[in-house]
Amino acid sequence: MTRWPLALVTCALLVLGALANLDGSGLCANGECINCLYCNGDCYSHCTCYSEINTCCCKSPPGHYAVGYEQVACPGGTYQDRLGKPACKPCSDSSEAYYYLQYRGSIDHLDCEAAKCETVCGDNTTCQEEKCMTGPAVVAMMESSPKELTFCSSFDTPIPATACSWTKSGAGRALDHRAAVVIGFGVALASIVVHRL
């Protein structure tokens, strides 16, 4: 009899994950990733944990973004200096500052300086053309619709298809779906308990 609530919770979380996948959001909220604890002196206030399935939704660490699944290192030409963000910021708004795309996980402008194309490629124009981009161009690729899957898969460590977008469409709808499913399972659980009495 004690297995019913656990089974319902597990089933609800699986359905939530399936519904979340329909509109591009993950199990966790935008800016959060699954089991990606980051500790900067305050380890536990950054996560919401679900002991029933041994899973936590944590704020993504600096240098990364998350859209509800895993944490993803910011692509070269971008950075993130804050916790729990669903996108990265351009290192520069200039269309003349090029950055090495493979330099990932920047947390500040010092990292952005180290990621500049000339630092990595030197005077090699082939390297610059094939492996570098401006910050605004990277942001445009990550905000494009449909997703630029070719761009995301071009990295040494590819950006997963589930995280290959910084657009926010569907996020509100995902919360509505989740609330409806949770309420539905709550009603189902209540009817099972009442029926057994």
Instruction: Report the distance separating Cα 9 and Cα 192, nearest Å.
Output: 14
SS3 56: strand
Q: What is the pTM of this model?
A: 0.73
For residues 184-194, average pLDDT: 45
Which pLDDT does position 147 carry in this prediction? 95
Burial 45-55 (b: 16+ CB within 10 A, else e): ebbeeeeeeee
Instruction: State yes or no: pLDDT of 17 exceeds 90.
Output: no
Instruction: State yes or no: pLDDT of 19 exceeds 60.
Output: no
Instruction: State yes or no: pLDDT of 139 exceeds 90.
Output: yes
Burial 134-173 (b: 16+ CB within 10 A, else e): bbbbbbebbeeeebbeebbebeeeebeebbbbbeeeebee
Q: Look up tokens 């944990």; give the residue.
A: 49
